Amino acid sequence: MTLLETDRPTLDLEDIVESAATALEGAPTLEVIRWAAATFGDRICLTSSMSDAALIHLVSKVKPGIDVLFVDTGYHFAETIGTRDAVEAVYPVNVINVTPSRTVAEQEAALGPRLNGRNPDLCCHLRKVEPLGKALEGYMAWFSGIRREETASRRDRRVVEWDRKRGMVKVNPILDWTQQQMDDYIEDNGVLVNPLHYDGYPSIGCEPCTQPVAPGEDPRSGRWAGMGKSECGIHL
C-alpha cells in the first residue's frame, strides 16, 4: 500500500510534486528513490536507454521487480539490445520492450526511406516519444536518468517535477550527478555498461544518428551530428 492510498487518497499529484520538489532538491539519491517508491508503489516505472544500468542498479535495490521500459526503436545498435538482454538477466527488474506502432519497414513504406535524415524530429516522435507516451499511460510516475550536465535544456530541471506533456510525475534521482560520479558508481558496483562506451560512444542513441566522439569533445556531440538537434523529445 502506498502513501497515496493510505494518507490522502484525494491528494492532487501536482501538490505532491510541488512539496516534494522543494523538500528533495539536493537530497541523497537513495532518499529520492525511497520517497518515490513509497509514494507511488507499483504505479511508478523506470525508463532506460540501456546506455548503462546505473539507475537500474540504484532503483532495484530499493524497489526490486520494478518495470523498466526500454523503447526499442528498431534502429538500435546490437550492443544496446545486448545490454538490454543482460540487464534483464542480471538485475531484479521487469524489462518491458516498448515498440513503435510501425516497424521500420512499415514506416519506410509509408513515409519513405531514411526519415531520420530528412526529418529526425518526426522520426523521433514516431519511434520514441509516441510509443513511450502510450507505455507510460498505466503509471502515475516515472524514474528517468537525465543529468543536468548533459544538455543546456536539462540544467533547470528539478529532481521531482510535473510532466505536463503526460500528466504524471517525473523523478530524476541522478540529476546532479557528474560524469565522474557516474564512472565511480559504475566501477565501484560493477554496474553493466553498454560496451560501445569503450569504443568512443559516450552517449548512445539509435545507430543512424549516433557517431563516435573524440576524447575531450562534448560527449553528446555525436548525437544527431550536424542536424541542429540535441534531444529526441522524450525529456523536453
Catalytic residues: 232
Q: How far apart are CA 179 and CA 189, in angstroms?
A: 15
* Grid cell at residue 137: 499511460
Q: How many angstroms separate the Cα of 9 from the Cα of each of 23, 40, 102, 209?
A: 21, 12, 39, 45
SS3 125: helix
Nearer to ligand SF4, 87 or 124 (CB): 124
Any binding-site annotation on 124?
Answer: yes
Nearer to ligand SF4, 116 or 172 (CB): 116
Q: How far apart are CA 43 and CA 2, in angstroms?
A: 9
Q: How far is the CB of 102 from ligand SF4 (least distance, A)?
A: 12
* Grid cell at residue 49: 536507454
Nearer to ligand SF4, 73 or 80 (CB): 73
Q: How far apart are CA 70 and CA 128, in angstroms?
A: 10
Nearer to ligand SF4, 64 or 117 (CB): 117
Any binding-site annotation on 45?
Answer: no
Q: How far is the CB of 69 from ligand SF4 (least distance, A)?
A: 16
Q: How far apart are CA 45 and CA 103, in angstroms?
A: 25
Contact 54, 44 (CB under 8 A): no
Q: Which residues contribute to the site for ligand SF4 (CB under 6 A)?
A: 73, 75, 116, 120, 123-124, 127-128, 205-206, 208-209, 232
Taken in order 2, 56, 90, 73, the sign of the CA dihedral is: positive
Contact 236, 153 (CB under 8 A): yes
Q: How far is the CB of 126 from ligand SF4 (least distance, A)?
A: 7
Q: How far is the CB of 210 from ligand SF4 (least distance, A)?
A: 7
Taken in order 182, 183, 187, 191, the sign of the CA dihedral is: positive
Q: How far is the CB of 124 from ligand SF4 (least distance, A)?
A: 4
Which position's Cβ is nearest ligand SF4? 206
Nearer to ligand SF4, 74 or 195 (CB): 74
* Grid cell at residue 207: 545507430
Which residue numbers belong to the known binding site?
Answer: 123-124, 206, 209
Which residue numbers belong to the known binding site for [4Fe-4S] cluster?
Answer: 123-124, 206, 209
